[in-house]
Amino acid sequence: MPELALRAERLGKNFGGVRAVADLSIEIKRGEIHAVIGPNGAGKSTLINLLSGELAASAGEIRLGDAEITGLAPDKRARAGIGRAFQKTTIFPRFTVHENVRLAAQARSRAPLRMFGGASADPEVQSRTIEAIGKAGLAGREAIVANVLSHGEQRQLEIAMVLATGPSIILLDEPLAGMGQAEARGIIALIASLRAHHAVLIVEHDMDAVFELADKLTVMQDGQVIASGLPEDVRRHPAVRAAYLGN
């Protein structure tokens, strides 16, 4: 396994005349939580969408491990190992925790989708489902219907669904948004635990969470990287203090 989980080089994305991401290069190592911060409109979500394939790059190259994935559609990137948590949009609200995670596990296995009956007979899908539920801290909640889960538990379910696809890297866009302190604590601990088996790229506004979680920190402004490195070094960077941290 290569040490680099993902590398993007000289990525660009224009929306009409707007340069949302410009000449951006970033590397995420295996076992590393890499946080991306920057003011609203800096291009953070666009970067995540370029990496997951929701958006096609206007320029640049993306490599996942040793494989070039720049032109691949999102589903092919997911199979190749890019896991992306979508806030709620992928959860089936009337299905149980187990059913939701099993569907995600099946999507990876390429087996024909058999929602009822046959699906649970596939032992690999079953074991991946149980493992992902456990890692996301939802053991014991398997039979609960998704729409009665708390806000925090729904976020855990999204992460379980990503884990069930067997990703090498997990992309998280503001996973703590809309969360109270207590719920956020649980999600922060869950994200911290992901680095044992996955690379993580997280965009987050909560600076306390960022400095608690990040092994590496990249600051974006106007679609570009203005600083990148160890969090303590980046924090002291004059351009970062001026542009973002406000002092």
Q: For binding to ligand ADP (CB under 6 A), which residues are involved?
A: 15, 18, 20, 38, 40-46
Task: Specify the residue, 42 or 191, whose C-beta has the smaller distance to Mg ion.
Answer: 42
CB of 42 to ligand ADP, least distance (A): 4
38 binds, among Mg ion, ligand ADP, none (CB under 5 to 8 A by kind): ligand ADP
2 binds, among ligand ADP, Mg ion, none (CB under 5 to 8 A by kind): none
42 binds, among Mg ion, ligand ADP, none (CB under 5 to 8 A by kind): ligand ADP
Task: Specify the residue, 2 or 41, whose C-beta has the smaller distance to ligand ADP.
Answer: 41
Residue number of the CB atom closest to Mg ion: 45
CB of 73 to ligand ADP, least distance (A): 18
Applying CB under 5 A, the residues found at the interface with Mg ion are 44-45
Task: Specify the residue, 59 or 80, whose C-beta has the smaller distance to ligand ADP.
Answer: 59
Task: Specify the residue, 61 or 222, whose C-beta has the smaller distance to ligand ADP.
Answer: 222
State how far the alpha carbon of 244 is from the alpha carbons of 34, 64, 65, 128, 172, in Å: 18, 30, 32, 41, 21
100 binds, among Mg ion, ligand ADP, none (CB under 5 to 8 A by kind): none
Task: Specify the residue, 31 or 74, whose C-beta has the smaller distance to ligand ADP.
Answer: 74
CB of 35 to ligand ADP, least distance (A): 13
CB of 246 to ligand ADP, least distance (A): 17
Task: Specify the residue, 86 or 95, whose C-beta has the smaller distance to ligand ADP.
Answer: 86
Taking the C-alpha atoms of residue 29 and residue 241, their distance in angstroms, rounded to an integer, is: 26
Nearest in space to 100 (alpha carbons), one of 171, 167, 157, 163: 157
CB of 37 to Mg ion, least distance (A): 11
